[in-house]
Amino acid sequence: MEYLNHELCMGPLKKNLLTLFQNYSKPVYVYDRDLITLRYKEMSTALKNCRIYFAVKANPNVEVLKTLKSLGCGADVVSLGEIRRAMEAGFPAAEIVYSGVAKTHKDIREALCLGVYQINVESLQELERIAKVANDLKVKAPIALRLNPDIDIKTHPYIATGLKDNKFGIELSLIPQIKAILLQNPQVVLKGVSLHLGSMMMEFSGYADALKKLRDVYLDLRKDFASVQRFDFGGGLGVLYDRYDLAEEASLLNQYAQITLEILGGLGAELQSEPGRWLVAHAGALIGQVQYIKPTSAKTFVILDTGMNHLLRPALYGARHRIIPLQQRTGEMTVDVVGPICESADFLSKDCVMSPVQEGDLVAILDSGAYGFSMANNYNLQDMPEEIII
Ligand SMILES: *Cc1c(COP(=O)(O)O)cnc(C)c1O
């Protein structure tokens, strides 16, 4: 995002948002296709020889998915709904990896009938359920074990998933029991191991420890199961929300890739990655309109027609998104930017230092391409936002 002639422009081709939204009527998520393409290419270059499966939950927009599909990406999903969406966007089942802690009998049956590439199994109980469903259907079930290495990546507690008090993954101490189930159920084919430590990783020491732990588990499993050949090292690479610094992000990406390839490169395994946020966060903005400027004795509120109903991250995680007007103005003001919802958690930015805005101005809530629309809801029966790709 940058201003050209004081008008906000988006993406590598600097598409003018002020012109695009001159007939604005309601909040819109806008995605830049060129930036998604750029990010995908950058990541697939850094993670050379790894297969990338986009975490659909970050942004399930069909056009976004089609864009990634056309670049050679696969899909990582966590529900039947996401499987259907991915297939609607053109991903064949054979390019879909299916994770998630609560797969029902029906979910598993459908996934196996469709022929998904891999089911990432999150518990011993799920493994037994898959064995039963595969047996009933008389099909093979290709699975990977999502392992929980009990490692801290120092992220927000709501997006940490690799600690033993998280609901995700299988504890390493259960491996002997898992092996026993697999040996009794040859219809379940162990293809590999998988890992996902959480989201917004900006530092990689815990990640490196986890990879080393799971490398040993991989080698151990391989001794008993010749079908083991895949290592899915998850997603979770973070992005900067407080500033635009592509050089810093490239450096983080390169550290992440180097650690991954150093630790896993010698395995001869098929390496799989499941990034979500990193590919799409910067490529999206939520556009809303200033309805009121409301000064009170405590602070000034900028009240928009969009809020936690459309972008939940500030309310849920205390996430900070930069908010800037489409028409650049000089000066600054310190305000709380809030939405229309009847909750005091309905804020987009607290004590936000931003360019001055007036009633009727359009603003962009930046870096909203990941976990934006996908978490949107119509609480208070406010309309859902629109989505467009440019
Ligand atoms: C959410 C999720 C991802 C993607 O995480 P990002 O932080 O968006 O990269 C990858 N794998 C699994 C299993 C997930 O649940």
CA 352 from centroid of its chain's CA atoms: 26
Does the Cβ of 58 fall within 6 Å of ligand 1? Answer: yes
280, 64 in Cβ contact below 8 A? yes
161, 168 in Cβ contact below 8 A? yes
The arithmetic mean of pLDDT across residues 335-360, rounded, is 96
Q: Give the rounded percent of residues in the chain with a pLDDT score beyond 70.
A: 100
DSSP assignment letter at 55: E
93, 115 in Cβ contact below 8 A? yes
pLDDT band, very low/low/confident/very high, at 159 (cuts 50, 70, 90): confident
Q: How far is the CA of 159 from the centre of ligand 1 (A)?
A: 9
User: What's at 288, amino acid-wise?
Assistant: G
Query: Tens of pLDDT along 15-35?
Result: 999 999 999 999 999 999 999
Rounded Cα–Cα distance for residues 36 and 228 (Å): 32
Does the Cβ of 99 fall within 6 Å of ligand 1? Answer: yes
The predicted structure's pLDDT at residue 214: 96
The predicted structure's pLDDT at residue 73: 98
The predicted structure's pLDDT at residue 375: 98
The predicted structure's pLDDT at residue 37: 98
Does the Cβ of 374 fall within 6 Å of ligand 1? Answer: no
CB under 8 A, 24+ apart: contacts of 130-138: 130/188, 131/181, 131/184, 131/185, 131/187, 131/188, 133/105, 133/108, 133/109, 134/185, 134/187, 134/188, 135/185, 135/187, 137/109, 137/112, 137/113, 138/187
Rounded Cα–Cα distance for residues 6 and 24 (Å): 19
Q: What share of the chain is helix, strand, coil (3-state, %, to 5)?
A: 35, 25, 40
Does the Cβ of 277 fall within 6 Å of ligand 1? Answer: yes
Q: Which residues pair with 327 in a beta bridge?
A: 7
Q: How far is the CA of 228 from the centre of ligand 1 (A)?
A: 23
Residues acting as catalytic residues: 342
SS (H, E, C) 100-156: CCCCCHHHHHHHHHHCCCEEEECCHHHHHHHHHHHHHHCCCEEEEEEEECCCCCCCC
For ligand 1, what atom is nearest to the CA of residue 159?
7
181, 203 in Cβ contact below 8 A? no
121, 148 in Cβ contact below 8 A? no
The predicted structure's pLDDT at residue 220: 97
DSSP assignment letter at 327: B
CA 66 from centroid of its chain's CA atoms: 16
Query: Tens of pLDDT along 235-257?
Result: 999 999 999 898 999 999 999 99
In terms of pTM, does the model score above 0.85? yes
pLDDT band, very low/low/confident/very high, at 166 (cuts 50, 70, 90): confident
99, 79 in Cβ contact below 8 A? no
For ligand 1, what atom is nearest to the CA of residue 275?
9
N- to C-terminal Cα separation, the chain: 14
Q: What is the mean pLDDT of the chain?
A: 96
